[in-house]
Each structure stands twice: as structure tokens, then as C-alpha cells.
Structure 1
Amino acid sequence: MPEEDALLARVRKLLAKAEDPAVTEAEAEAYNTKAAELIARYGIDQAMLAARAEFADEVTSMRIDVENPYSRDKAQLVTCIAEPLRCRTVLARASQRVHWVTVFGFRSDLLRIELLFTSLLLQAGTQLGRASGGGTAQSVAAYRRSWLQGFALAVFHRLKGAEEKAVAEHDGGSGSAELVLRDRKAVVEAAYQEEFGALRMARRRRLTGSGFSDGRAAGERADLGTTGVTGKRGGLLNR
């Protein structure tokens, strides 16, 4: 088995343990944290292999479809996963509806993004189903939107921290991985600017719901490395 496949196999085993209802919350968090670290290390390893021409990696794009309800919030989750992995996103919007997200990045990073988004969207649906919300349809929707914003922000910070830790551990002061990743980020940025450089940034949303803190706490507990992808996304979030 190639080394990268063996590493991802370790991730699957860790996450299977974390998902076992018999383990404590502290044990599950430890398993999930280790899985996130291994996923980050996988990304660094692939980047270094590509830099030495031992692995064929290239900048390309990937389309991730998002569905209503909460399509804008699902799109934000894609972006919060993509940015720490040095990728760029473009949202295909019509009024308040997002139809899909185009992600620019190296192929190995796009693989990680797709796996993480599918898993995290399912986790968000499960966690949100357990959370309390407002009493009316209007307040429930507002609560869920703000909850999802908090969830996505927590995921962003956790992935960013895992990536930074993986770089530091790989380099040990040499700075080699940091330089390689900086160059890869510049290549992605150039590809993005060539195709979408004229686009304007969307205005920041102002959400009124009270679910941000609950969503952020759920995002801090979320599994950041599940690779058991199913064909169904979102659960509660598709209703």
C-alpha cells in the first residue's frame, strides 16, 4: 500500500473510534484532533512530493453543488474549508441563492476539500438537529443560519491551526515546506486571478439569529478527517 494510502487508512481507523458511542467526549475529541493532524500532514507530504517531481499534482478547479435551504451558508462552509488549504473559491449566485461553488487549487488539496465538506455538512445537520432554536419558522431559520456561520468559522480556525502545526513539525526550523506551500498558494492565486480576477467580493452578511455560539462549539467538536463519503449530503439541512 502506498504511504499516503496507509496514512489515510490510519485516519479512517481513528475516526471510527471517535464515532463509537461508547467512547467519552474527551476520548472522541482526542481521536478527531489526531485525525485532523494526519489529514494536514497528508497535504504537506503531497506538496513536498510534487515539489520534487515525485508526484504529479496540478492546479485545476472543482465544482461543488450546494442546495437550498441555507445554500449561502453551505457555500460559506466550502470557503472556510478551502482557504486554510490554500485554495480559492467562487460562488455562482442568483439573488440570495448559491447554486454551486467553484474551487481552485492543487488536485490533492481539492480531494481533501471535497471529503471534508461532505463529512462536515452531514455532521452539521446532525448537530443542528440536537440544538434548540426559536419558536417560529422565521426565528428557527435565523438561528440555523447563525449556527452554521459559527460552525464554519470554528472549522476554519481548526483547519488553519492543523495546517500550521503540520508545516512546523515537517520543517523543524528549515522552512522548506513553508516555502513550497507559499509557492503553491501563489500558483493557485495566479490561476484564480486569470479566470476570475475581475470579480468583486461579496458584501459581508449580517445575521440576526442567536445560534452562532452553539454552532461554533459544534464546529470545534467536529470530525475534520472523515473519508467515509456517502451520496447524501446534509440530512436536516436539506429540509
Structure 2
Amino acid sequence: MSQSSMLDKIRKLLAKAEDPAATPEEAEAYAGMAMALVAKYGIDQALLDAKKVDSEREPVVDRMRTVSAPYGMEKAVLLHRVSVPLNVYIVRHSRVAGGSYPVHMFGTDSDLDRVELLFASLLIQAVRGVAAVNWVPLGETLVGYRKAWIRGFANRVGERLTEANDQAVREVGGNTTSTAMVLADRRTLAIGRAKDAYSNLKELKGPKVSVLGYGAGQRAGSQADIGSSRLGQQSATKAIG
């Protein structure tokens, strides 16, 4: 199956999982199928690429995108948590006017395509979910609770993607250590490209957040469809990939 055909199949599964008319059971089934395809597609691409001579391998490229307000920082965390298991490294720039965050992404085109596809779907789900939060416990603020909710959602999604990727590696058969090393090499190359582009990377540290909001977001992330459901250096850039 070609790359475009595989991505189109994943898009259709994601759309079915996101459909408000789908029952929870149907959404979960579509999510499971799409997750497996996303993981398998990435591993197949990486293994095929590893067999080529260096000059013919898929190069590491870069893309810029802007993560918009509201909750721009938290949405950037979601992008980061999707990127890590899919061998993409991201650099978040300082906030710009309006509360948005420019984000610089590094990886192969096939890995970047997977990240963009999943992030777009998950962002819809996160925005829909956090908009439904209209009541918060005594002592909490709505904004703080919602920010924590998105972070909990993002981190649980990242865990699920890592689990799906590990399962796909095992299902490939053969030397699983060798397969894992091939995937690790792709991420190492992405990190190297980012460090070549930026000399002042700083690791991002997460703030203290609402425990209750975070937990609620985690529970939503456990049910989310995860696909199973511009270069311009600025000051104070942060690495969160």
C-alpha cells in the first residue's frame, strides 16, 4: 500500500472515530484499528529506509507551524507528546502576540505526516473535551483546571502512543532490539538536526497544575482516538521534543 493510500485509510478511521454519531464502542473500535495502522506504517517505513544506502534514505527535514490560543502552551505540550513516540523532535518558540506559539518540527516527511495527522485529530478532541468543562471544584479556577485537563489528556495520549508503538515493534517479529534501534536512530537524527539549527535550546519544565483537572484529562486521554481512534531562530527557544 502506498504512503498516500495508507494515510487516507488512517484519516477515514479517525473521522469515523470522531463522529459524534458513533457509539463509544464503535469509536473505540475505529480508534484501535487506526492506532495499529499508524504504528505499523511508521515501523515499515523506517525498516525499508534502513535497508537503503545513506544517499537514498529519507532525509530529516523541518516544518514550522503555529499552535494557536487559547491554551497555546498546553496545545504545544499535546503536540510534543504526540511527536516523541513518532520520532519527531519539536522546538517551541516564545509566545507571540495573541498567545500563540510558533513550533519548529524536525523529522522525516513520513514521520512528520503521522504527527500532523494525529495532532489535528487529537486537537479537535481536546478542544471539544475541555469546552465541556464548565464546573470546577471549590478552590479551583476554570482556566487553571482546563489547562491541567489538557496536560493530563496529552500525557495519557503520549503513553498510549508509546504502548502502541512498542506493541507494533513486537509484532514485526525478528530482532526486536534491532527494530527499536532503527527507530531510535531516526529520532537521534531529528534531534541532531534541531541542535544544528539552534544553539540555545532549553529544556521545558512543566508548571504545577490542578491535580483534579489533570486526572480528568488523563481519563479523557485514555478514551481518545490516537490514530488507533519557516525556519527562523528566536530568543529563548525551548526544546520540548
Q: Which band: TM-score by shorter chain?
A: 0.7 to 0.9
Q: Does 1:58 align with 2:33?
A: no
Q: What is the alpha-carbon distance in structure 1 between the residues aligned to residue 25 and residue 121 of structure 2?
A: 20
| RMSD of aligned alpha carbons | 2.8
Conserved? CA contact 1:119–1:226, under 8 Å? no
Q: Does 1:116 align with 2:118?
A: yes
Give unpaired runs (5+ residues) of structure 1.
228-239
Conserved? CA contact 2:144–2:209, under 8 Å? yes
Q: Does 1:73 align with 2:103?
A: no
Q: How does 1:140-151 map to 2 (within 5 A)?
A: 140-151=142-153
The match for 1:161 among 160, 163, 171 is 163
Structure-1 residue corresponding to 2:234: none
Q: Does 1:204 align with 2:206?
A: yes
Structure-1 residue corresponding to 2:232: none
Structure-2 residue corresponding to 1:233: none
Structure-2 residue corresponding to 1:231: none
Residue 203 of structure 1: how far off its partner (Å): 3.0
* Paired AA for residue 110 in structure 2: S
Conserved? CA contact 1:88–1:189, under 8 Å? yes
Q: What is the alpha-carbon distance in structure 1 between the residues aligned to residue 175 and residue 57 of structure 2?
A: 27
Conserved? CA contact 2:89–2:187, under 8 Å? no
Residue 220 of structure 1: how far off its partner (Å): 1.3
> C-alpha offsets along residues 175-226 of structure 1, whole Å, 9 cap, x if unaligned?
4422321222221222122222532223331123631111111111111128
Change (3 A) 1:176 1:149: same
Q: Does 1:93 align with 2:94?
A: yes
**Mean Cα displacement is larger for which, 97-106 or 29-38?**
97-106
Structure-2 residue corresponding to 1:36: 35
The match for 2:221 among 219, 222, 230 is 219
Residue 17 of structure 1: how far off its partner (Å): 4.3
Conserved? CA contact 2:90–2:105, under 8 Å? yes
* Paired AA for residue 82 in structure 2: I
* Paired AA for residue 79 in structure 1: H
Q: What is the alpha-carbon distance in structure 1 between the residues aligned to residue 204 and residue 14 of structure 2?
A: 36
Conserved? CA contact 2:14–2:121, under 8 Å? no
Q: What is the alpha-carbon distance in structure 2 between the residues aligned to residue 51 and residue 173 of structure 1?
A: 14
Q: What is the alpha-carbon distance in structure 2 between the residues aligned to residue 133 and residue 192 of structure 1?
A: 41
**Mean Cα displacement is larger for which, 48-57 or 76-85?**
48-57
Structure-2 residue corresponding to 1:7: 6
> C-alpha offsets along residues 111-148 of structure 1, whole Å, 9 cap, x if unaligned?
11111111111111112233343389x81111110100
User: What SS class does the counterpart of residue 60 from structure 1 fall into?
Assistant: strand
Q: TM-score, normalised by structure 2?
A: 0.81
* Paired AA for residue 128 in structure 1: V
Q: TM-score, normalised by structure 1?
A: 0.82
Give unpaired runs (5+ residues) of structure 2.
230-241
Change (3 A) 1:38 1:50: same
